[in-house]
Amino acid sequence: MNTIETTVLFLRKGDEILLAMKKRGFGEGRYNSVGGKLEEGESAEVCVKRETLEEIDIRAISLVQMADLTFHEKYQGIPTIAHSSVYVCDEWEGEPIETEEMSPRWFNLSEIPYDNMWPDDIFWLPRVIDGEKVLGEFWFEDHNTVINHTVSNVESFDAT
Protein backbone atom coordinates (compact mmCIF):
# COMPACT_ATOMS: atom_id res chain seq x y z
CA MET A 1 0.00 0.00 0.00
CA ASN A 2 1.35 3.37 -1.02
CA THR A 3 0.38 6.45 1.02
CA ILE A 4 0.76 10.02 -0.27
CA GLU A 5 0.28 13.26 1.70
CA THR A 6 -0.81 16.21 -0.42
CA THR A 7 -2.19 19.74 -0.19
CA VAL A 8 -4.53 21.92 -2.26
CA LEU A 9 -5.11 25.68 -2.05
CA PHE A 10 -7.95 27.68 -3.59
CA LEU A 11 -7.56 31.45 -3.87
CA ARG A 12 -10.86 33.25 -3.46
CA LYS A 13 -11.86 36.86 -4.08
CA GLY A 14 -15.49 37.84 -3.75
CA ASP A 15 -17.58 35.61 -5.99
CA GLU A 16 -14.57 34.19 -7.87
CA ILE A 17 -12.25 31.27 -7.29
CA LEU A 18 -8.89 30.62 -8.91
CA LEU A 19 -8.53 27.28 -10.66
CA ALA A 20 -5.54 26.20 -12.67
CA MET A 21 -5.26 23.94 -15.68
CA LYS A 22 -2.66 21.25 -14.96
CA LYS A 23 -0.26 21.27 -17.91
CA ARG A 24 1.87 18.21 -17.06
CA GLY A 25 2.07 15.24 -14.71
CA PHE A 26 -0.68 13.76 -12.55
CA GLY A 27 -4.00 15.42 -13.39
CA GLU A 28 -2.79 16.88 -16.68
CA GLY A 29 -5.62 18.44 -18.70
CA ARG A 30 -7.89 19.05 -15.71
CA TYR A 31 -8.74 22.17 -13.78
CA ASN A 32 -7.78 21.91 -10.16
CA SER A 33 -5.95 24.26 -7.93
CA VAL A 34 -2.40 24.59 -6.75
CA GLY A 35 -0.74 22.28 -4.27
CA GLY A 36 1.25 19.10 -4.21
CA LYS A 37 3.09 16.46 -2.22
CA LEU A 38 4.63 17.16 1.15
CA GLU A 39 8.40 16.95 1.30
CA GLU A 40 10.21 15.13 4.13
CA GLY A 41 9.54 16.87 7.46
CA GLU A 42 7.29 19.51 5.89
CA SER A 43 3.93 20.53 7.39
CA ALA A 44 0.85 20.79 5.19
CA GLU A 45 0.77 24.60 5.56
CA VAL A 46 4.43 24.98 4.61
CA CYS A 47 3.90 22.64 1.65
CA VAL A 48 0.86 24.45 0.28
CA LYS A 49 2.58 27.84 0.56
CA ARG A 50 5.69 26.50 -1.20
CA GLU A 51 3.66 24.85 -3.97
CA THR A 52 1.57 27.99 -4.50
CA LEU A 53 4.70 30.08 -4.93
CA GLU A 54 6.26 27.51 -7.30
CA GLU A 55 3.15 26.90 -9.39
CA ILE A 56 1.60 30.38 -9.82
CA ASP A 57 4.04 32.82 -8.15
CA ILE A 58 1.65 33.75 -5.32
CA ARG A 59 2.72 34.21 -1.69
CA ALA A 60 -0.25 32.95 0.35
CA ILE A 61 -0.77 34.93 3.55
CA SER A 62 -3.99 33.77 5.26
CA LEU A 63 -4.95 30.11 5.04
CA VAL A 64 -7.99 28.35 6.43
CA GLN A 65 -8.21 24.57 6.20
CA MET A 66 -11.65 23.73 4.82
CA ALA A 67 -11.40 20.05 3.90
CA ASP A 68 -9.59 16.89 4.82
CA LEU A 69 -9.93 14.35 2.02
CA THR A 70 -8.83 10.74 1.60
CA PHE A 71 -8.70 9.01 -1.79
CA HIS A 72 -8.45 5.26 -2.41
CA GLU A 73 -7.31 4.15 -5.86
CA LYS A 74 -4.65 2.35 -7.83
CA TYR A 75 -1.85 4.64 -8.95
CA GLN A 76 0.50 3.12 -11.51
CA GLY A 77 -0.96 -0.30 -10.59
CA ILE A 78 -0.26 0.07 -6.86
CA PRO A 79 -3.10 0.40 -4.31
CA THR A 80 -2.72 3.95 -3.03
CA ILE A 81 -4.23 6.11 -0.34
CA ALA A 82 -3.81 9.83 -0.93
CA HIS A 83 -4.61 12.19 1.91
CA SER A 84 -5.16 15.86 1.03
CA SER A 85 -5.44 18.92 3.25
CA VAL A 86 -7.49 21.55 1.40
CA TYR A 87 -7.13 25.26 2.16
CA VAL A 88 -8.86 28.44 1.09
CA CYS A 89 -6.89 31.67 0.95
CA ASP A 90 -8.37 35.16 0.65
CA GLU A 91 -5.21 37.18 1.30
CA TRP A 92 -2.03 36.89 -0.78
CA GLU A 93 0.75 38.82 -2.43
CA GLY A 94 1.29 38.92 -6.18
CA GLU A 95 -0.75 38.14 -9.26
CA PRO A 96 -1.19 34.55 -10.49
CA ILE A 97 1.05 33.76 -13.45
CA GLU A 98 1.21 30.82 -15.83
CA THR A 99 4.15 28.46 -15.29
CA GLU A 100 5.36 25.27 -16.95
CA GLU A 101 3.02 23.30 -14.68
CA MET A 102 -0.12 25.38 -14.24
CA SER A 103 -2.26 27.85 -16.17
CA PRO A 104 -4.38 29.81 -13.65
CA ARG A 105 -7.79 31.32 -14.42
CA TRP A 106 -10.45 33.04 -12.32
CA PHE A 107 -13.96 31.53 -12.43
CA ASN A 108 -17.22 32.91 -11.13
CA LEU A 109 -18.51 30.60 -8.39
CA SER A 110 -21.59 29.88 -10.52
CA GLU A 111 -19.43 28.79 -13.51
CA ILE A 112 -16.98 26.29 -12.02
CA PRO A 113 -16.14 23.73 -14.77
CA TYR A 114 -16.82 20.56 -12.75
CA ASP A 115 -17.00 18.52 -15.98
CA ASN A 116 -13.28 19.27 -16.55
CA MET A 117 -12.13 18.66 -12.97
CA TRP A 118 -11.53 15.60 -10.79
CA PRO A 119 -14.83 13.70 -10.50
CA ASP A 120 -14.84 13.94 -6.68
CA ASP A 121 -14.78 17.76 -6.67
CA ILE A 122 -18.52 18.11 -7.29
CA PHE A 123 -19.22 16.26 -4.01
CA TRP A 124 -17.19 18.49 -1.67
CA LEU A 125 -16.07 21.75 -3.34
CA PRO A 126 -19.54 23.38 -3.42
CA ARG A 127 -19.78 22.79 0.34
CA VAL A 128 -16.35 24.34 0.92
CA ILE A 129 -17.35 27.33 -1.22
CA ASP A 130 -20.43 27.71 1.00
CA GLY A 131 -18.11 27.93 4.03
CA GLU A 132 -18.54 24.39 5.33
CA LYS A 133 -15.58 22.44 6.71
CA VAL A 134 -15.75 18.88 5.41
CA LEU A 135 -14.22 15.48 5.89
CA GLY A 136 -14.42 13.34 2.76
CA GLU A 137 -13.42 9.87 1.62
CA PHE A 138 -13.53 8.68 -1.99
CA TRP A 139 -13.00 5.33 -3.66
CA PHE A 140 -12.03 5.38 -7.33
CA GLU A 141 -12.38 2.59 -9.88
CA ASP A 142 -10.01 4.54 -12.14
CA HIS A 143 -9.01 8.21 -12.35
CA ASN A 144 -12.40 9.11 -13.84
CA THR A 145 -14.90 7.10 -11.79
CA VAL A 146 -15.87 7.56 -8.15
CA ILE A 147 -17.49 4.28 -7.05
CA ASN A 148 -18.23 5.30 -3.46
CA HIS A 149 -17.86 8.34 -1.26
CA THR A 150 -18.70 9.93 2.08
CA VAL A 151 -18.66 13.64 2.90
CA SER A 152 -19.53 15.03 6.31
CA ASN A 153 -19.28 18.36 8.07
CA VAL A 154 -16.77 18.89 10.88
CA GLU A 155 -16.14 21.73 13.32
CA SER A 156 -12.33 21.58 13.04
CA PHE A 157 -9.43 19.43 11.90
CA ASP A 158 -7.52 19.38 15.21
CA ALA A 159 -7.99 15.63 15.65
CA THR A 160 -7.12 14.70 12.05
The pLDDT assigned to 78 comes to: 81
In a domain, 160, yes or no: no
In a domain, 158, yes or no: no
In a domain, 13, yes or no: yes
| CATH (domain of 43) | 3.90.79.10
User: Is pLDDT larger for residue 142 or for residue 14?
Assistant: 14
DSSP annotation of 39? P
* CA 65/CA 42 separation, integer angstroms: 16
Domain count, the chain: 1
In a domain, 33, yes or no: yes
The pLDDT assigned to 139 comes to: 96
Mean per-residue pLDDT for 13-41?
93
Looking at the chain, the whole-number percentage of residues with pLDDT higher than 90 is: 84
**Which domain, by its residues, includes 141?**
2-153
In a domain, 159, yes or no: no
In a domain, 51, yes or no: yes
